Chains A and B, each alone.
Chain A
Amino acid sequence: MRRFGNQQVIHGVSLELRRGEVLGLLGHNGAGKSTTLQMLTGCLLPDSGEVDICGINLLHHPMQAKAYIGYLPETPPLYRELTVNDYLLFAARLRGMKSGAAAEALAQTRQRCGLDSVGKKSIGTLSKGYQQRVGIAQAIIHSPAVIVLDEPTVGLDPAQIREIRALIRELGDKHSVILSTHLLGEVESVCDRVEIMQQGKLIYGDTSANMKNYGDGKMTLEETFLEITENNANSRNRDPNSSESAGAAS
């Protein structure tokens, strides 16, 4: 559960992310997606509830738990004056990698995210799309068990979106990925499972294949999404007692 002042923005959210799975967090603007992800990564403490990362409690043992996390916030956290190489090395070392391993990881990640040609440029001079890629690279360079991506494909051109989606799909085989988005196509192409949030609550959760067959199976994902969220808004008189926020990963 999470409050800002008197406003309860997240409550009763219980997420479980299994190893080797891509979970999509869907929802309208202001539904609480980013806040949930911030709490999962330790950038914001929940008012009540628990977060476990690979069986380690994030609130009681933040240092150990955070070592398993790679996080790309809504705005990529880039030091604009550093070069791409310096920045990624810093990010890798920050997560506790030795400098030798970090250099190896750098070469691999740069290649994975298509950053080979810009390694020596300073981040401030790159275009939005490249900056976004650096942001993704920063989140995966230490090959964390849990990768948290907040709207990873924002600001990319269609070709880049396809590349990044393929990358996320590939990451999903070995790591656990949780991503927030409001692009339904993204859910269809990369996510194994979908959770829909509205006004700080989870209102729907299923595999993305099942979501496609929602209702009579003839609706598009977009129609399904709208129907689910509208139905929920109409029947908003559920019991608000449960207030445990739990994100258990792997």
Chain B
Amino acid sequence: MIRLLAMRELRSLFAMPSTWFVLAALQFIFAWFFLARLDAFLEIQPQLAQLANPPGVTTMIAAPMFNTVALLLMMLIPLFTMRLVAEERRNQTFALLLSAPLSTRHIVLGKYTGLLIFMAVLITGMPLMLYTLALGTNIDQGLMLSNILGLLLLISSFVALGLYISSLTAQPIIAAIGALAVLLGLWLADISATTEDSPWHFISPLSHFQNFNNGLLDSSDAAFFVLFTAVFLVLTMKRLHNNLVYG
């Protein structure tokens, strides 16, 4: 059932021209950024070569690129999550799911999985571009994998948050603005908090991504993402249930 709902979500997404447009535009932005970083790297490479232990392409190109893409997705994911529940409410298609033999758990997990798969497809282009560097040099596999894993966890937490905010309203635009506001707010609070042990660092997903970005696999960061995702998925289920009670 969860798979069926996820497939429906994907089918609807790919039936819209705007999805393909975003997909194409994003690949272009990835490529542009990748080439810009590569250029910069080649320019300073002679100087780097004189160092005793010079940073490689993965540190110089891949890591900053993952960091930028993380910020880009923070802006982009609300645009995709906004439709999940809010649009079903607005078009009154929700009755189909509510009157079908599904629990709210199925509905929430189905929608979440569908969008997560879509986002994974959306960003596959970027690691592939980075792996083309392997043709000319050695890639730090550990750093790459930790970045990919971190980015997936980050996406998963953003999607869960967006899904919850979408379930609060019947207006997709409000859902998008709400999710964007929360994500931007968390990010800004995180980067503006100067003290090392500020609580903002702890609750901001992007600050937990930094360790992954530097190639440091910390189980507490991973646990944070899993918890963050789980909390918002459970809240969404509660919210959909309350919807039945309060109309």
On A, residues with C-beta under 8 Å from B are 4, 38, 41-45, 62-64, 66-67, 69, 71, 73-75, 77-82, 86, 90-91, 93-96, 122, 138
Contacts and interface: CB of A to CB of B under 8 A. Distances in A.
20 contacts: A4-B247, A38-B95, A42-B98, A43-B98, A43-B99, A67-B101, A71-B99, A73-B92, A73-B95, A74-B92, A75-B91, A77-B91, A77-B92, A77-B95, A78-B93, A79-B12, A79-B91, A79-B93, A82-B11, A94-B97
A66 B1 CA distance: 14
B44 interface: no
Contacts, number: 73
Contact of A71 (B4, B92, B95, B244): B95
Contacts of A69: 99
Contact of B244 (A4, A44, A77, A81): A44
B8 interface: yes
Contact of B96 (A4, A64, A80, A138): A138
Given A44-B244, A45-B244, A82-B12, A90 B4 contact: yes
Given A41-B95, A138-B96, 4 more contacts: A69-B99, A71-B99, A78-B93, A94-B102
B198 interface: no
Contact of A64 (B95, B100, B101, B244): B101
Contacts of A42: 98-99, 244
B128 interface: no
Interface string B229-247: 0000000000000001101
Interface of B: 1, 4-5, 8, 11-12, 15-16, 91-103, 244-245, 247
A96 B101 contact: yes
B2 to A, nearest CB: 12
Contacts of B15: 81-82, 122
B93 A77 contact: yes
Contact of A77 (B4, B8, B96, B102): B96
Nearest to A135: B96
A102 B103 CA distance: 21
Given A4-B247, A81-B16, A75 B101 contact: no
A41 B103 contact: no
Nearest to A65: B101
B96 A66 contact: no
A63 B99 CA distance: 9
A78 B92 CA distance: 8
Output the residue of B91, B93, B97, B101 with the most chain A CB within 10 A: B101
Contacts of B5: 94
A45 B99 contact: no
A81 B93 contact: no
A79 B103 contact: no
B99 A66 contact: yes
Contacts of B99: 41-43, 66, 69, 71
Contacts of B92: 73-75, 77
Contacts of B102: 63, 66, 94
